[in-house]
Amino acid sequence: MNLFSDIRAAVLDALAAMQAEGALPAGLDMSNVAVEPPRDAAHGDMATNAAMVLAKPAGQQPRAIAEALAAKLSADPRIVTAEVAGPGFLNLRLTPDAWRGVVAAALGQGRDFGRSDMGRGVKVNVEFVSANPTGPMHVGHTRGAVFGDALAALLDFAGHEVTREYYINDAGAQVDVLARSAYERYREANGLSPEIREGLYPGDYLIPVGEALKAKYGASLLDRPEADWLADVREFATQRMMEMIRQDLALLGVRMDVFSSERAITASGRVEEAIETLRGMGLIYEGTLEPPKGKLPEDWEEREQTLFRSTAHGDDVDRPVKKSDGSWTYFAPDIAYHWDKVKRGYDQLIDILGADHGGYVKRLKAVVSALSDGRVPLEVKLIQLVKLYKNGEPFKMSKRAGTFVTLRDVVEQAGPDVTRFVMLTRKNDAALDFDFDKVLEQSKDNPVFYVQYAHARVCSVIRKAAEAGIAADDATLAGADLAHLAHDAELSLARKIAEWPRLVEISARGHEPHRVAFYLYELASDLHGLWNRGNEDTSLRFVQEGNAPVSQAKIALARAAGVVISAGLGILGVTPAEEMR
RNA sequence: GGCCCCGUAGCUCAGGGGAUAGAGCGACCGCCUCCUAAGCGGUAGGUCUCAGGUUCGAAUCCUGACGGGGCCGCCA
C-alpha cells in the first residue's frame, strides 16, 4: 500500500474525467504530475503540481485548472479539503481514517510493508567489492562492500530480481606477485630467511599461507626454479586469500550470490571470442594512440597496439586491448566478463567501483553498449574516497608504516552495525570522513544508536504493556480499534510512516540507499518526539494503564513505526536492537 | 591539457524543477516523582562559490569560470 501513489491515481482519474467532460484537452502528458508531501506541513498533507504542469500544454490558467480539480477531488472520501494555493498548488488534507489505514497496513504486512513491485521481472546484476585476491580488505573496500550490499537489498525490496556478484581478479600480474610473496613465507616456514624484495607483498597475513604451503609440500618446492612452483603456489595462495576475503565479508554481513573468476574466463578462450566478436562489428583495429595532453608519461613513445573503437560508443579516445608485446591489457578480460554478464540475461548491470576507476567508466559502458547492441544499460556507481581520521587528525594508510587499516580492524572495534550505518549515511559520490574515535565512541553523536534506540523504545512499550496486563502481540494490535488515534501528534507519525513506500521507490530508482538511512533518522526523530510529549501530556503515552483498547491503538502506531524501522535497517544490513544497554 | 566527483549555517551533511532552503554537532535557554534523558522542546546562525542560460518557477537542469579531490597508453 502506497497512499501517495493511491492519491496520485485519484488525481489522474479526476484529470481524465475533466478531459472526458471537455474541461481539459485530450492527449496531455501526465508523467510530470506529482503528489508529494509538502515541504511545510501547514500546507496540508499532500500537494499536487498538476495544475502548474498542465497549464501551458492545456492553454489554461493554472489556478483555474486547480479549482476544477479541487472540485472533483473533494468527492473522494479520503480527502477532507482541497485548497488552491500559491502559483497553482493544490493542497490536500486527508481524513484521519486514511492515515489510520496506513498503520493498519504496516501492521498487516509487517516488514513487507513498503515492498514495491516497481522492479517486477527486471533482472539486475550488482557487481561489487571485487577486491584483488592479494590481501585482506581495507577500509576503502569496506565502503564499496556496504554500499553494494545495501543497494542490492534495496533493489530487491523494490521488486527486482537481484544477483550479487564478485569478480575475482585472479589472472593478472598481481597474483604472480602474491605467489612469489607467499613462496618467501614458505621458505621462512622451512627455516630459511625470507627475501621480501621491493614490489612483493610484505604483510604478515602471508605467514600462515607459507606455513600451510609447508604442510602441503614439505620441503619439495625449495631450491626449485620459479617455473616449477609458480602456478601451484599461485593457485594455493589465491584460494587462501579468497577465503580470507569471504571471512571479512561475513564479518560485515555481506553475502555474494556469484563469484566469477577472471582466470576461468581467460582460460576458456572467452577473451579471444569477445575481441573477435567486436572485430566482427568493426570495432577492433591496429593503430597508435595520441599522447595524452598535458603531462606526458616519462617513457612515452609511439606504439602500435590492438585498439577497441570505444569512441563509437561514447568514449573520448579508443582504448588498447593488447599491450605492445601482444599480451592482453587488464581491459581485455573485463570485456569478456561484461559480455558474459550480458549473455546471462540481465536487464541491467551495475558496477560498484572505487573513485580511482573513474577513467574506466566510459570504456566499460562502451563495451556493454556494443556487445548488447544497446539493450542492456550499465550503470557504474563510483565510491568516493574514505578519508580516515584519528584523534581528529587525518592519517594516511600505508602498508610500510604499519598504519594499514583493515576491514577487520574496523568491524571488530566498531561492530558491523555502526560501520555499515556510518558508511551509508552519505551519498556514494561524496567523500566520506571516517573518524575512528567518533565511530568507536558509541555516543549519541552516532545516528545509528538514535535509530536503534527508537526501535528499542517500541519494543519496550510492548514489554511494558504486557507487564500491565494489556495484550500487545501483533495479532491483537492488528485488530485494535485505530479510531482511538485522534491526536494530531499521533496522526503525524502515521503520515511519516506513509512516506516509507514512496521513499523505497525513490531510493531504488536513484540507486541511493543513503536516502533510507536519512528517512529512518527522521522517522526515529518523530517517534522520539511523540514519546516525549507523553511526559507533559499523559494522554499521549502509548501505554494507558487500565485501558486496553486505547493502549492497543497507540501501541499499534508505535509498532507500525517499529516495523518500518526494522525493515529499513534490514535493507541497510543493521540490526534493529530490541533494547539498549 | 582532457575526463569524473564535490562546493548549501561556524563544523559535518540532507534536499528525485516547486511555496518562507532543512537536520545533526557546536553556542544559548528550558524539560526526568512520569512508558529507557543514548531522549525532547525552544533561540541564534544562509549572497545555496560566481556569472550567464532554459523554465510559469532553479540550491536542483544546461554552459562557462573559480576553488577542492580523483584519474589519464605496455598497474590491476
Helix (H, G, I), strand (E, B) or coil at A509: helix
Identify whether the C-beta of residue A522 lies closer than 8 Å to the C-beta of residue A451: no
Question: Quick check: A464 CB within 7 A of strand B?
Answer: yes
Q: A403 falls in which pLDDT band (50, 70, 90)? A: low
Average pLDDT over residues A362-387: 95
Helix (H, G, I), strand (E, B) or coil at A139: helix
pLDDT tens-digit readout, A163-178: 999 999 999 899 999 9
A402 pLDDT higher than 60: no
pLDDT tens-digit readout, A209-230: 999 999 999 999 999 999 999 9
What is chain A's alpha carbon radius of gyration, rounded to the nearest angstrom?
Answer: 29
* Separation CA A298–CA A42 (nearest Å): 64
Q: Quote the distance between the C-alpha of residue A230 and its chain's center.
A: 39
Instruction: Provide the Cα torsion A259, A264, A268, A274; round to 10°.
Output: 60
Q: Residue A283 to residues A206, A313, A341: CA-CA distances in angstroms? A: 43, 10, 20
A424 pLDDT higher than 80: yes
Confidence at residue A393, expressed as pLDDT on a 0 to 100 scale: 73
Nucleotide nearest to A91 (CA to C1'): B19
Question: Quick check: A548 CB within 7 A of strand B?
Answer: no
Of the candidates A564, A560, A559, A554, which has an alpha carbon nearest to the alpha carbon of residue A481?
A554
Identify whether the C-beta of residue A252 lies closer than 8 Å to the C-beta of residue A416: yes
* Separation CA A276–CA A274 (nearest Å): 5
* Separation CA A7–CA A34 (nearest Å): 10
Helices A96-109 and A488-510 cross at an angle (nearest 10°) of: 60
* Separation CA A141–CA A385 (nearest Å): 10
Residues 370-399 of A with CB under 7 A from strand B: 382, 384-385
| Domains A3-94 and A445-572 belong to one CATH topology | no
Q: Give residue limits of the domains in chain A.
A: 3-94, 445-572
Q: Which residue approaches B57 most closely, CA to C1'?
A: A87
φ, ψ of residue A193 in degrees (nearest 5): -90, 130
pLDDT tens-digit readout, A75-89: 999 999 999 998 899
Identify whether the C-beta of residue A284 lies closer than 8 Å to the C-beta of residue A322: no
Q: Where are the beta strands (DSSP E) in A270-385?
A: 284-287, 305-308, 319-320, 348-354, 378-383
Nucleotide nearest to A301 (CA to C1'): B73
Q: CA at A428, C1' at B29: how many angstroms apart?
A: 38
User: Average model confidence (pLDDT) for chain A?
Assistant: 93
Question: Quick check: A413 CB within 7 A of strand B?
Answer: no
Question: Quick check: A21 CB within 7 A of strand B?
Answer: no
Q: Give A60's DSSP letter.
A: S
* Separation CA A410–CA A422 (nearest Å): 12
Q: Which residue approaches B14 most closely, CA to C1'?
A: A518
Q: A405 falls in which pLDDT band (50, 70, 90)? A: confident
Q: Residue A580 to residues A121, A220, A454: CA-CA distances in angstroms? A: 40, 56, 10
pLDDT tens-digit readout, A432-445: 988 887 777 766 67
A389 vs A401, residue with greater confidence: A389
* Separation CA A122–CA A155 (nearest Å): 10
Amino acid identity at A306: T
Residues 160-189 of A with CB under 7 A from strand B: 169, 171-174
A91 pLDDT higher than 80: yes
Residues 515-534 of A with CB under 7 A from strand B: 515, 518, 521, 525, 528-534
pLDDT tens-digit readout, A24-42: 999 999 999 999 999 888 8
Instruction: Give the range among A258-267, A336-345, A396-405 with minimum mean pLDDT.
Output: A396-405
pLDDT tens-digit readout, A247-304: 999 999 999 999 999 999 999 999 999 999 999 999 999 999 888 877 677 778 888 8
Q: Which residue approaches B18 most closely, CA to C1'?
A: A49
Q: Which residue approaches B26 most closely, CA to C1'?
A: A445
Q: CA at A490, C1' at B70: how many angstroms apart?
A: 48
Helix (H, G, I), strand (E, B) or coil at A328: strand
Residues 469-498 of A with CB under 7 A from strand B: none
Q: Give A302's DSSP letter.
A: -
C-alpha cell recorded at residue A79: 480527502
Q: Where are the beta strands (DSSP E) in A264-375?
A: 284-287, 305-308, 319-320, 348-354
Q: CA at A114, C1' at B18: how many angstroms apart?
A: 26
Average pLDDT over residues A189-197: 94
Q: A515 falls in which pLDDT band (50, 70, 90)? A: very high
Give the count of alpha carbons within 13 A of A127, CB side only. 25
CATH class of A445-572: mainly alpha
Q: A398 falls in which pLDDT band (50, 70, 90)? A: low
ipTM exceeding 0.90, yes/no: yes
Confidence at residue A241, expressed as pLDDT on a 0 to 100 scale: 97
Q: CA at A517, C1' at B28: how many angstroms apart?
A: 30
Of the candidates A263, A189, A175, which has an alpha carbon nearest to the alpha carbon of residue A221?
A189
CATH class of A3-94: alpha beta
Nucleotide nearest to A544 (CA to C1'): B35
Q: Give A403's DSSP letter.
A: -
Nucleotide nearest to A4 (CA to C1'): B16
* Separation CA A315–CA A367 (nearest Å): 10
The label of the residue with cell 630467511 reads: A193
* Separation CA A366–CA A308 (nearest Å): 9
